[in-house]
Chain A
Amino acid sequence: MADYIIVCELKGSENSNPVILDSYPLDVEDQISVKLVPKFLPFGSRAGDYLINRSGKNTILSYIFKIENSDNRADLLSISMVLEKKDKIETYKLVLKEVIDKMGENLLLTEEVLKENIKTIYQGVYDEKDITIDFLKIELSKIFAEAKVLYEIKKPKIRGSFSI
């Protein structure tokens, strides 16, 4: 279960700096956001990376991606989940990638759309339910169901007899 979701960005244009684009449900104050960004968009991040960091007792899972620009370098972004427990990290990796990939395929991967829908994305992850961004339905429930089968630890069957 995610405490909150954060999106960070380093724009490809001149004179940009890494910033927190938005977060939900926690509001990150501007004056501390600069110090926090490397936790969510770590040094050396490249598009396609999954990065795991610690923050106190919490685990931060970040998926790094890019948004293309027509007249500049692509922007570098991260979508991060702050987690109390690490047991579903592999599932959340699939979920984050699915959201970003589907938005990208449907030309919805923009700063504005991400900011407008961060609450929707958080709710979908929290409830393990499908979400709708603009016209696009993203079947998160399917991802959670498939991941459960894939990553569920199978309990060993007890064999033999112990009767004395």
Chain B
Amino acid sequence: MGLFDIIKKVFTKDKKIIICGLDNAGKSTLVSFLEHGTFIEHTPTMGKEQTTIEVQGVKVNIVDMGGQKDFRSLWLGEMEDAECVIFMIDASAKHRLNEAKEELIKLSPLLEKKSLIILANKYDLKDVAQIGEIIEALELEKFKSFEILPISSKTGYGIVRAFSKIYFKLTGKKLTQKVAPKALTVFDQGGIPLTTAHGETTDLEILRGGLYAAISSFVKESFDRELNQLKLDGYVIILKRSPHLMGSIIIEENNSIDITEAESRLGELLAHLENMCPELKNEELDNDKIEYLTQQFATNLFN
């Protein structure tokens, strides 16, 4: 370890964030999505749980607080040395917004000195409170500063965007995304496209002609050998299989592309879909479900 590394180690403090909010808001589910990239069922949190994740060289200690009434008195103590406070609400539990407001008010003296981010969770469900409704119900305008973001700790919707905000609050730096995909497609085992997610500025010609041709070649050639990358018309198409699905991610071909990173993102999506669709093991395919989950997850990849 060189001298600069030692100095960097001494002056780079671990960052602490505390996640609080009513019971059943989805706090532990968010933490495990950040850790594992997919939804994991949780039992209620007894008191508190601590997790550390490393992001771009920064260690972030996440203290996940139990939301039951008996544990709420612990929140203030944990907030003292936290750099950022996340208050999570269940946007589908409109009947509990008032209770959430009452708890937030109790934290307000300490929140004046802290960064506050409100995460409106369960935005994968249909009947959720809108952001404006939540701002009004929680009387957020009374706080000096706050950010409010919709997410789903179940489908991954908005999680990277939310974490980017958190990371900025902690470090003053932007979370750099090494992959800027043009399109993301999920196929069944035979190479038939099930759904495509793409950014707003994508040339759809790539999606129609080139991609399907590339996938046909991939299926043809895959009986002899695995073909996991193709170059076409200035784009790189990365292909990957999971036990029951296939996927492709299209990125622009230039010197700064990170193929490994792109492949990882695609792998995460496929692993998430396999986890969320256990019916795939019985060779059942729910197109609508796969489309929905892909679109939700893809919000983390397209700006």
Binds B, one of A15-23, A87-95, A104-112, A144-152: A15-23
Asked if A135 is at the interface (CB within 8 A of a chain B CB), the reply is no
A73 with B46: in contact, given A17-B70, A34-B70 (CB under 8 Å)?
A: no
Asked if A45 is at the interface (CB within 8 A of a chain B CB), the reply is yes
The answer to whether A44 and B46 have CB atoms under 8 Å apart is: yes
The answer to whether B47 and A43 have CB atoms under 8 Å apart is: yes
Q: A34 to B70: give the CA distance in the assembly, Å.
A: 9
How close is B102's CB to chain A, nearest CB, in angstroms? Answer: 14
The answer to whether B96 and A10 have CB atoms under 8 Å apart is: no
Binds A, one of B36-44, B137-145, B154-162, B242-250: B36-44
The answer to whether A44 and B41 have CB atoms under 8 Å apart is: no
A14 with B46: in contact, given A34-B70, A74-B41 (CB under 8 Å)?
A: no
Q: A45 to B44: give the CA distance in the assembly, Å.
A: 10
How close is A15's CB to chain B, nearest CB, in angstroms? Answer: 7
Q: In A45-88, which residues have CB < 8 Å from any B CB? A: 45-47, 66, 73-76
CB closest chain-B residue, reference A75: B43
Q: A10 to B48: give the CA distance in the assembly, Å.
A: 13
The answer to whether A46 and B96 have CB atoms under 8 Å apart is: no
Q: Write out the residue numbers on chain A whose beta carbons fall within 8 Å of the beta carbon of B124.
A: none
The answer to whether A76 and B69 have CB atoms under 8 Å apart is: no
Q: Write out the residue numbers on chain B whose beta carbons fall within 8 Å of the beta carbon of A18.
A: 46, 68, 70
How close is B29's CB to chain A, nearest CB, in angstroms? Answer: 9
Asked if A118 is at the interface (CB within 8 A of a chain B CB), the reply is no
Q: In B15-61, which residues have CB < 8 Å from any A CB? A: 23-24, 41-44, 46-50
Q: A16 to B68: give the CA distance in the assembly, Å.
A: 6
> How many residues of A are in contact with the other chain, CB < 8 A?
23
Q: Write out the residue numbers on chain A whose beta carbons fall within 8 Å of the beta carbon of B41.
A: 73-74
Q: In A25-51, which residues have CB < 8 Å from any B CB? A: 34, 38, 41-47
Q: Write out the residue numbers on chain B whose beta carbons fall within 8 Å of the beta carbon of A74.
A: 41, 43
- Interface residue SS majority, chain B: loop
Q: Write out the residue numbers on chain B whose beta carbons fall within 8 Å of the beta carbon of A13.
A: 24
Q: A9 to B42: give the CA distance in the assembly, Å.
A: 15
Q: Write out the residue numbers on chain B whose beta carbons fall within 8 Å of the beta carbon of A66.
A: 43
The answer to whether B44 and A73 have CB atoms under 8 Å apart is: yes
Q: A1 to B239: give the CA distance in the assembly, Å.
A: 60
How close is B193's CB to chain A, nearest CB, in angstroms? Answer: 35
The answer to whether B44 and A12 have CB atoms under 8 Å apart is: yes
Q: In B249-270, which residues have CB < 8 Å from any A CB? A: none
Q: A141 to B271: give the CA distance in the assembly, Å.
A: 44
CB closest chain-B residue, reference A11: B44
How close is A21's CB to chain B, nearest CB, in angstroms? Answer: 14
Q: Write out the residue numbers on chain A whose beta carbons fall within 8 Å of the beta carbon of B43.
A: 10, 12, 46-47, 66, 73-76
CB closest chain-B residue, reference A10: B44
CB closest chain-B residue, reference A77: B43
The answer to whether B24 and A10 have CB atoms under 8 Å apart is: no
A10 with B42: in contact, given A16-B23, A16-B68, A17-B70 (CB under 8 Å)?
A: no
CB closest chain-B residue, reference A46: B43
How close is A8's CB to chain B, nearest CB, in angstroms? Answer: 9
Q: A12 to B42: give the CA distance in the assembly, Å.
A: 9
Q: Write out the residue numbers on chain B whose beta carbons fall within 8 Å of the beta carbon of A44.
A: 46-50
Q: A13 to B50: give the CA distance in the assembly, Å.
A: 22
How close is B47's CB to chain A, nearest CB, in angstroms? Answer: 3
Q: A141 to B93: give the CA distance in the assembly, Å.
A: 49
A14 with B96: in contact, given A73-B24, A73-B41, A73-B42 (CB under 8 Å)?
A: yes
Task: Give 17 A-B contacts (CB < 8 Å), ordered by A residue.
Answer: A10-B44, A10-B68, A12-B43, A13-B24, A14-B23, A15-B23, A15-B69, A16-B23, A18-B68, A18-B70, A38-B46, A44-B49, A46-B49, A47-B43, A73-B43, A74-B41, A76-B46
Beyond contacts A12-B43, A73-B24, A74-B43: 9 other A-B pairs, Cβ-Cβ < 8 A, are A11-B44, A15-B69, A18-B68, A42-B46, A44-B47, A44-B49, A45-B46, A66-B43, A75-B44
Pick the 4 closest A-B CB pairs, nearest first.
A43-B47, A76-B43, A17-B70, A45-B46
